[in-house]
Structure 1
Amino acid sequence: MNLTTRLRPVCSALLLSAAALLTAPTSAAPMMPAPTAMGTDNPAAHPNFTVRVVGKGQPVLLIPGLTCPGAVWDETVAHYQKQYQCHIISLAGFGGVPAPASTDKMLQNVRDQLLTYIKTQNLRQPAIIGHSLGGFMALWMSSTQPEAVGPLVIVDSLPFIGAIQNPAATVEQVRPMAEGMRKQVANGPINPAQQRQMTATMVTDTARINQVTRWGVQSAPAAVAQAMYDMYTTDLRADVARIQQPVLVLGSWAAYKGFGATKESTKAIFDQQYAKLPRHQVAMSEAGKHFLMYDDTQWFFQLSDAFLKQPSAATK
């Protein structure tokens, strides 16, 4: 088995791969509460996501991964709401949230609208906790407007998913594959049992597997397809050099043991992709799969708590 074959599951987990996410629309009602308007917030100004605000204190944005609504952060919010004002983001088209009117430049629109939200809400350099796609979005926001964003907690995500199998890959080299994947995913659906099978490689607990699978089934295929395409064709490895705030990167590797991965080999991928990020630390979970806030909760909170409390991570 060659290196490319061994690394393919890592790529799949980071993105909730195409094979698992040829999703079918459903008649289920949205699972997230209606957005909570604060200050001068105008939900019409951010049609690509909704926001729920819980707690008091320094602001923190929590951005979920592919197909997951903000509810994926419920336990994290319960942990932090007494000391932080949690702005819980749900992207349009994910996990039962109504799909956006247009998926054109979907993630770029999310990025720009989130930065506008920070400004209109007068949030002073909020911290961002992002999982998978949400971690990628946090990096993109911070590298676009470094002065607008505070410290970042990146949960199992990379600056350029398209290069995980080949570090020398460019966007143009990856684009044909990404285009084919976009068409395949948008045309779904597949057997939900196959989606659950893939989800089980990313989450340990059975109830969590069931929930993440339901969110996937409730997602809009066109939105999922475009989000995946946008991630595969956006390379932030050089752009992260502009990020001014400290960054905590939490990675997983245990799920890939059967494919020849080790903690050291997987961490090397993270170290390589984050090499140009000025102020960062990478920590690898010993046993957690992709959803580290579910699989290695105590470790996740221990590291995140310590990081967010550091004077260097405080809002300036």
Structure 2
Amino acid sequence: MGGTPVASAADVGAASGQVGTLRFERHGDHGRPVILIPGLECGPWVWEQTIADLQKDHVVYAVTLAGFDGVPPPAHDAGAGTLLDRADASLLQLIEREHIDRPVLVGHSIGGTLSLRFAGEHAKLLSGVVAVDGLPVFPGMDRARAAQRQAIAERMKARLAAMTPAQFQAAALSYMQHVGVIDPSLAMREAPLVARSDAKATADYMAADMAADYRPVLKQADVPILEISPYNAPDFAAAAMGKQPATSEMQKTAYYQSLLANAPEAKVVSISPSRHFAMLDQPAKFRRTLAGFLDSL
């Protein structure tokens, strides 16, 4: 279940390259193109099984955002916006330069957020979007004013950027154990891969994500959108601690649907039991859900 990084492009004979701030690997040689975008601090290893499944019938582009998974962060460019802005511009460059005909974007976490943003900006270039626990506004920040989101993001950015390498590694392990996946042994295997990312780049992406609200642009995202909502009942029961009823799977799905209300063709599907990395916790369910969406296009 994704315990080791996916083989490099050199190992499998796939094409690879760099466009803007994105590094990419291309797998497969025919079929509808799919662009896989990993989440915060992740690389193509998170899509290992997905790549193996899809490359039989699809041309698959697995990208890595600059600063993640050992890819160096780009040189500072004050006029280019945040690293998330630069990733968005680079995704457009990738589609245009590689002549990718109406791909499906499949993004996890911040990769899902980037996919939704891109759909609102360039819907005519896409066939569809799958966002795996990636939303147009950070969960819990949907009722905050822009200034409040920005202030919270700046405090978080400063805290993350100040971490020592040891603190960053410890945070990666804690995150994978309590938020990332259910299986403790899987969390132990994946945490070192997460920790290969650059702390300051991570802080930049995370702050941009927390401060943003892409719900308005979803009105222009006139393509099929599938949001995958992971759900693990014990986590919600622990969070409630008996003080209030725990959020049910149906309630979480409805909340995600409300955040996507502006998108004309958005649908939310829950995968449980699963934490943030649904493709690792429930690979079979994820595989069926993704295949069903692609077949429906």
Counterpart of 2:73?
A: 99
Shift of the 284–257 alpha-carbon distance from structure 1 to 2, 3 Å rule, reads farther
Residues 32 and 97 of structure 1 are in contact (CA less than 8 Å); yes or no, is this contact kept in structure 2? no
CA distance in 2 between partners of 1:176 and 1:32 (Å):
39
CA distance in 2 between partners of 1:166 and 1:182 (Å):
16
Counterpart of 2:39?
A: 65
Residues 36 and 51 of structure 1 are in contact (CA less than 8 Å); yes or no, is this contact kept in structure 2? no
Counterpart secondary structure, 1:58? coil
Counterpart of 1:79?
A: 53
CA distance in 1 between partners of 2:41 and 2:141 (Å):
26
Which ranges in structure 1 are unaligned for 5 or more consecutive residues?
1-30
* Cα deviation 1:19-38 (Å, max 9, x = unaligned): xxxxxxxxxxxx95579657
Aligned ranges 1:131-280 → 2 under 5 Å: 131-161=108-138, 164-189=139-164, 190=167, 192-201=169-178, 202-254=180-232, 255-259=235-239, 260-280=246-266
* Deviation, structure 1 residue 139: 0.6
Q: Which amino acid aligns with 2:72?
A: P
Counterpart of 2:280?
A: 294
Q: Which amino acid aligns with 1:94?
A: F
Percent of aligned pairs with the same residue? Answer: 26
* Cα deviation 1:77-130 (Å, max 9, x = unaligned): 001110001000011111212222227511111101111110111111101111
Counterpart of 2:3?
A: none
Number of residue pairs matched?
275
Query: What RMSD, in angstroms, separates the aligned Cα atoms of the two structures?
Result: 2.1
Greater RCO (Cα-Cα under 8 Å, separation 6 or more): 1
CA distance in 1 between partners of 2:156 and 2:142 (Å):
20
Residues 172 and 192 of structure 2 are in contact (CA less than 8 Å); yes or no, is this contact kept in structure 1? no
Shift of the 225–191 alpha-carbon distance from structure 1 to 2, 3 Å rule, reads closer
Counterpart of 1:9?
A: none
CA distance in 2 between partners of 1:142 and 1:194 (Å):
32
Counterpart secondary structure, 1:275? coil
CA distance in 1 between partners of 2:53 and 2:15 (Å):
23
Question: TM-score, structure 2 length as denominator?
Answer: 0.86
Question: TM-score, structure 1 length as denominator?
Answer: 0.81
2:109 maps to 1:128: no
* Deviation, structure 1 residue 257: 3.1
Which ranges in structure 2 are unaligned for 5 or more consecutive residues?
1-6, 240-245
Q: Which amino acid aligns with 2:237?
A: K
* Cα deviation 1:197-239 (Å, max 9, x = unaligned): 2211221234431233112321111110000011112111111
Shift of the 191–168 alpha-carbon distance from structure 1 to 2, 3 Å rule, reads closer
* Deviation, structure 1 residue 166: 4.9
* Deviation, structure 1 residue 187: 1.0
Give the one of 44, 55, 67 matched to 2:28: 55
